[in-house]
Amino acid sequence: MSEPLLQVRDLTKVFNVRRGNAFLKTQPLYAVNNVSFDIRAGEVLGVVGESGCGKSTLGRLILRLLEPTKGQLLFEGRDLRELTAEQMRRARSDMQMVFQDPNGSLNPAMQVGRSISETLRFHGIGTEAERYEKALKILSVVGLQASHYNRLPHEMSGGQNQRVGIARALIINPKLLIMDEAVSALDVSVQAQILKLLEEIREEFHISILFISHDLSVVNRVSDRVIVLYLGRVMEIAPVKALFSGARHPYTRGLLASRPSIDPTKRVKTEAALQGDLPSPLSLPKGCPFVTRCALATDICWQQMPEHRERAPDWIVACHHVD
**Polymer length in residues for the chain:** 323
CB atoms within 10 A of CB 275: 13
CA distances from 298 to 254, 301, 304, 319 (A): 18, 5, 10, 11
Q: Residue type at 29?
A: L
Residue 258 lies in a domain: yes
Residues 174, 94: contact at Cβ < 8 Å?
Answer: yes
Residues 308, 233: contact at Cβ < 8 Å?
Answer: no
Q: What is the pLDDT of residue 263?
A: 55
The 10s digit of each residue's pLDDT in 121-180 is 988 888 999 999 999 999 998 889 999 999 999 999 888 888 898 899 889 989 999 999
Which stretches of 49-127 are DSSP H helices? 55-62, 85-91, 112-122
- Residue 205: pLDDT band by 50, 70, 90 thresholds? confident
**Rounded CA separation 25/19 (Å):** 8
Judge whether residue 16 has pLDDT over 60: yes
Query: Does the CA dihedral 148-171-203-47 come out positive or negative?
Result: negative
**Rounded CA separation 20/98 (Å):** 35
Residue 23 lies in a domain: yes
The 10s digit of each residue's pLDDT in 58-99 is 999 999 999 999 999 999 999 999 999 999 999 998 999 998
Residue 102 lies in a domain: yes
Q: What is the pLDDT of residue 13?
A: 97
Residues 235, 242: contact at Cβ < 8 Å?
Answer: no
Phi, psi of 58 (to 5 degrees): -60, -45
Residue 321 lies in a domain: no
Judge whether residue 229 has pLDDT over 50: yes
Enter the DSSP assignment of 60: H
CA atoms within 13 A on the CB side of 30: 19
Residue 59 lies in a domain: yes
Domain hosting 47: range is 6-316
What percent of the chain has pLDDT above 70? 93
Buried b (16+ CB within 10 A) or exposed e, 192-209: ebbbebbeebbeebebbb
Residues 94, 6: contact at Cβ < 8 Å?
Answer: no
Who contacts 166 (Cβ-Cβ below 8 Å, separation ≥6)? 98, 142, 182, 194, 197, 198, 201
**Rounded CA separation 45/311 (Å):** 19
Residue 309 lies in a domain: yes
Residue 57 lies in a domain: yes
Sheet holding 208-212, edge to edge: 95-98, 176-180, 208-212, 44-48, 225-230, 233-239, 315-318, 308-312
Whichever domain contains 70, its CATH number is 3.40.50.300
Phi, psi of 152 (to 5 degrees): -95, 160
Residue 323 lies in a domain: no
The 10s digit of each residue's pLDDT in 241-276 is 999 999 999 999 999 988 765 555 555 444 456 777
> What's the structural domain count of the chain?
1
Which stretches of the chain are DSSP H helices? 55-62, 85-91, 112-122, 128-141, 158-170, 188-205, 216-222, 240-246, 250-257, 299-303
